[in-house]
């Protein structure tokens, strides 16, 4: 959701650094943005509806230059529509204190009424503004800003990552606090910084501390001190992060999504190859994680995730059941957390998340743990909440994923799931050495196959298809077995970035309803790779054709390409691994359809990269 930055320097000017930080975090929310800096006689604010460029234009007068402390925000609206007024930061009454916030203050109406009763006139429709007035009121009688923040938070219900800037008589103060949404802090010799995620801090240092719920951090140049809500000091040791700040750049690519699609060969290699054990018939995770003992008591696996990560989780269920012969349930994290699920000590709760900060996935993990489950995660962000809260973690090595539409993180999640399934199968004795070796050898061979799907010629073929089908009324994606989740993923990708109607279905379900949708205005994309259900899926293509439907077959089943109007051939591999190839043309198809429709591909409407609120 929203992105937050803040900094206090011993000397120099903070404003450009804040804007640069917001640019890196803009993928978290992009309906408005703003900064506040501490000037000689108060806090100065600039904020603008729309993209960061609007804020930059508003800063062009240089009036905020020279200030050495400030905070900034890029917004994904919850309370009050996107507008200059509702953009953060929000000021207290006296113009000496400003607040930025990610999250929701659930009791803001009661607090607003109280504050209005004492004469406060609200300037925005946001829940956040109550924080500015409450903290300002407390500051009048508190020793310092952190005490005022503590007193305010004692009255607040809800969740937040917030940063507060005050310009009191003693100089600028910057404090931040976390309850729910993520917040990280770091210091260098002569400055201290805060940001919603590590991408905002990496330009300064790779030694980063992650705040826990209930933490309040006080930033002074060269130092970050963390206290709890009672004011007691707590230690949050910095972790060394292995991403480079340049990894999130666009380079020569027109969009992050296209760049990230093209990175998938490398991502697969980084995530999987170094974890293939020496004898090439097993998987070895760092630090001996997921040992035989880890799985000893496990009777079933419960996967929870959201969106694209859920689709990776569905593939994980086929892989784990197929190779490790252990029952797997998969659920939307948002459903799981409210359905009083049957989970106990024999359950391995496996969360899958790119960001590691998705509110529903975290809540599902916490619920599973509270019921006695062992908790594991497949996650892309080192130091994220999901990683910190899991007993076993497979870090995907996708690097920063900036495009809101997840692509390379998905590939990495599926590769990680395969590694986990092989390890489980080996630990449980359901997968013999020879089969494991064959599968891992096939996995290694995927690298050139992925590259072959990303040559100019292969991409050109998809682009031509996008042109042919862009005027259609909608798309239906069909897949079966381990490629059913790929049908769901193809549909999700297309709808989220091109806003075209698209549905994904299990191919065998077509005749139970979706077949009624078939007409020449609907493109039916059928994913079919060589494997035990290929004949069945091919028959579905015939059924669609017989009803005048327009079909595109994607996969390694050459016979399907003969039947369908259009096709995207994909190299053959083991059926288990076929999703890792089949998804790539679908990602490209979405990309080019969205491009032809003039959509804002990296920042689709209404979406945000990291969904840290419910």
Q: Given the rule CB under 6 A, which residues bind ligand M6R?
A: 306-309, 353-355, 358, 361, 404-406, 496, 610-611
| Closer residue to ligand M6R (CB): 38 or 305 | 305
Query: Distances in Å between the alpha carbon of 532 and those of 83, 292, 359, 441, 551?
Result: 54, 31, 38, 21, 21
Rounded to a whole number of angstroms, the minimum distance from the CB of residue 361 to ligand M6R is: 5
| Closer residue to ligand M6R (CB): 384 or 578 | 384
* Phi, psi torsion values for 218, nearest 5 degrees: -110, 120
| Closer residue to ligand M6R (CB): 353 or 574 | 353
Active-site residue flag, 2: yes
Active-site residue flag, 609: yes
| Closer residue to ligand M6R (CB): 309 or 552 | 309
H or E stretch at 68: none
Rounded to a whole number of angstroms, the minimum distance from the CB of residue 612 to ligand M6R is: 9
Query: Distances in Å between the alpha carbon of 197 and those of 62, 327, 370, 384?
Result: 27, 35, 27, 9
| Closer residue to ligand M6R (CB): 102 or 361 | 361
Rounded to a whole number of angstroms, the minimum distance from the CB of residue 360 to ligand M6R is: 8
* Phi, psi torsion values for 603, nearest 5 degrees: -135, 70
Q: Where are the alpha helices (DSSP H) in 9-107?
A: 15-25, 52-59
Token duo for residue 558:
């050459």
| Closer residue to ligand M6R (CB): 75 or 538 | 75
Rounded to a whole number of angstroms, the minimum distance from the CB of residue 610 to ligand M6R is: 6
Give the three-state DSSP class for 219.
strand
Determine which one of 2, 176, 379, 599 is catalytic: 2
Residue nearest to ligand M6R (CB): 307
Rounded to a whole number of angstroms, the minimum distance from the CB of residue 335 to ligand M6R is: 14
Token duo for residue 174:
């910057």
Question: In whole angstroms, what is the distance from residue 149 CA to residue 135 CA?
Answer: 6
Rounded to a whole number of angstroms, the minimum distance from the CB of residue 428 to ligand M6R is: 28
Instruction: Give residue for tokens 């297309």.
Output: 494
Rounded to a whole number of angstroms, the minimum distance from the CB of residue 15 to ligand M6R is: 30
| Closer residue to ligand M6R (CB): 369 or 428 | 369
In sequence order, the β-bridge partners of residue 74 are: 3, 33
Q: Sheet containing 522-527: give its strands across.
A: 501-506, 474-479, 522-527, 550-555, 566-569
Determine which one of 48, 449, 603, 609 is catalytic: 609
Residues 610 and 1 sit within 8 Å (Cβ to Cβ): yes
Question: In whole angstroms, what is the distance from residue 78 CA to residue 29 CA?
Answer: 11
Closest listed residue to residue 421, CA positions, set 398, 461, 394: 394
Residues 83 and 49 sit within 8 Å (Cβ to Cβ): yes
Token duo for residue 513:
């309803």
Which residues have a catalytic role annotated?
2, 609
């Amino acid at each position: 959701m929203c992105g937050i930055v803040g900094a206090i320097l011993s000397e120099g000017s903070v404003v450009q650094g804040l804007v640069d930080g917001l640019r890196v975090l803009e993928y978290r929310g992009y309906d408005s943005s703003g900064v506040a800096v501490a000037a000689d006689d108060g806090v100065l604010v600039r904020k603008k509806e729309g993209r960061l460029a609007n804020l930059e234009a508003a800063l062009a007068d240089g009036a905020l230059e020279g200030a050495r402390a400030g905070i900034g925000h890029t917004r994904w609206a919850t309370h009050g529509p996107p507008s200059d007024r509702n953009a953060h930061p929000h000021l207290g009454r006296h113009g000496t204190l400003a607040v930025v916030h990610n999250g929701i203050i659930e009791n803001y109406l009661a607090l607003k009424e109280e504050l209005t009763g004492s004469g406060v006139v609200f300037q925005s429709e946001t829940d956040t503004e109550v924080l500015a007035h409450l903290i300002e009121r407390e500051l009048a009688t508190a020793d310092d800003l952190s005490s005022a923040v503590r007193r305010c938070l004692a009255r607040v219900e809800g969740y937040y990552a917030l940063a507060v800037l005050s310009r009191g008589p003693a100089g600028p103060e910057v404090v931040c606090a976390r309850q729910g949404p993520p917040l990280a802090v770091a210091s260098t010799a002569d400055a201290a910084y805060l940001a919603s995620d590590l991408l905002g801090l990496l330009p300064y240092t790779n030694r980063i501390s992650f705040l826990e719920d209930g933490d309040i951090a006080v930033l002074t140049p060269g130092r970050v001190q963390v206290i709890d809500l009672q004011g007691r000091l707590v230690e949050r040791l910095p972790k060394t992060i292995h991403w480079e700040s340049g990894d999130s750049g666009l380079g020569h690519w027109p969009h992050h999504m296209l760049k990230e699609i093209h990175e998938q060969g490398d991502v697969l290699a980084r995530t999987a190859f170094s974890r293939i054990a020496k004898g090439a018939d097993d998987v070895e995770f760092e630090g001996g994680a997921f040992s035989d003992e880890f799985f000893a008591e496990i009777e079933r696996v419960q996967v929870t995730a959201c969106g694209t990560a859920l689709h990776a989780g569905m593939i994980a269920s086929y892989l784990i059941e197929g190779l490790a012969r252990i029952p797997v349930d998969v659920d939307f994290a948002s459903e799981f957390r409210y359905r009083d699920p049957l989970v106990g000590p024999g359950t391995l709760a496996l969360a899958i998340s790119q960001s590691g900060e998705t509110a529903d996935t975290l809540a599902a993990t916490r619920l599973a743990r509270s019921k006695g489950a062992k908790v594991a995660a497949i996650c892309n962000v080192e130091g994220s909440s999901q990683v910190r809260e899991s007993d076993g973690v497979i870090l995907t090595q996708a690097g920063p994923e900036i495009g809101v539409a997840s692509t390379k993180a998905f590939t990495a999640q599926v590769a990680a799931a395969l590694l986990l399934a092989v390890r489980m199968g080996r630990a449980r004795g359901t997968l013999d050495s020879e089969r494991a070796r064959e599968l891992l050898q096939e996995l290694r061979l995927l690298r050139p196959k992925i590259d072959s799907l990303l040559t100019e010629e292969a991409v050109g073929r998809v682009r031509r298809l996008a042109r042919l089908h862009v005027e259609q009324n909608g798309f239906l994606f069909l897949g079966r077995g381990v490629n059913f989740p790929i049908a769901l993923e193809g549909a999700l990708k297309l709808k989220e970035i091109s806003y075209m109607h698209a549905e994904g279905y299990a191919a065998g379900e077509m005749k139970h309803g979706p077949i009624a949708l078939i007409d020449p205005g609907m493109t039916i994309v059928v994913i079919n790779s060589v494997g035990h259900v290929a004949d069945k899926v091919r028959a579905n293509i015939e059924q669609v054709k017989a009803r005048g439907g327009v079909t595109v077959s994607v996969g390694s089943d050459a016979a399907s390409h003969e039947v369908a109007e259009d096709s995207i051939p994909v190299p053959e591999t083991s059926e288990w691994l076929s999703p890792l190839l089949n998804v790539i043309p679908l990602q490209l198809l979405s990309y080019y359809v969205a491009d032809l429709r003039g959509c804002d591909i990296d920042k689709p409407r209404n979406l945000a990269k990291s969904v840290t609120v419910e």
